[in-house]
Amino acid sequence: MKIFNGKKAAEDYMSTHTLAFSTPELTLMRYSFWLGDIVLDPNNREQKVPRIMTFVEEKDFEPVQVIDDEKYIPTGAVRSTGMYGNPVTETSTNVKYCSECGIKNSTTARFCTECGTTLD
């Protein structure tokens, strides 16, 4: 897949032009004109291309894992940090037991903290 490396283009522009410290609107307008300038193609010196084409790179991306929002799979991060969960500690003896693993859970819990099963 071909992508535009805007960061490299902006760094090249800012390093060679004094307008880098000017007003944002003027800098952006000059930058867009700079990208549109016709320059020699670095791969083929006999052809001329817009400067923006010199910042287009070929990249391979790994396939993205699709996240299923219908199923909760615990990673352990929520349970071990102490940052999430019910801030009120329950002192009552009412607890929910998970039907899959048998672990005690809070009465307000929707999912088992151990296996992620939906609690009734």
Alpha-carbon distance of 70 to 1, in angstroms, equals: 31
Please tell me the least confidently modeled range out of 5-14, 40-49, 77-86: 77-86
Average pLDDT of the residues in 7-36: 76
> Amino acid identity, residue 49?
V
Alpha-carbon distance of 26 to 22, in angstroms, equals: 7
Q: Is 52 helix (H, G, I), strand (E, B) or coil?
A: helix
Exposed/middle/buried for 12, CB within 10 Å: 0-12, 13-18, 19+? middle
- For residue 6, which of 57, 48, 67 has the smallest C-alpha distance? 57
Tokens of 68: 């299923």
Tell me which residue has tokens 């060679």: 16
Q: Is 43 helix (H, G, I), strand (E, B) or coil?
A: coil
- For residue 5, which of 51, 50, 43, 57 has the smallest C-alpha distance? 57
> pLDDT digits over 26-73, tens only?
777 788 888 888 999 888 889 999 998 888 888 887 777 777 667 777
Provide the whole-model pTM: 0.38
* Cβ neighbours for 60, distance < 8 A, ≥ 6 positions apart: 1
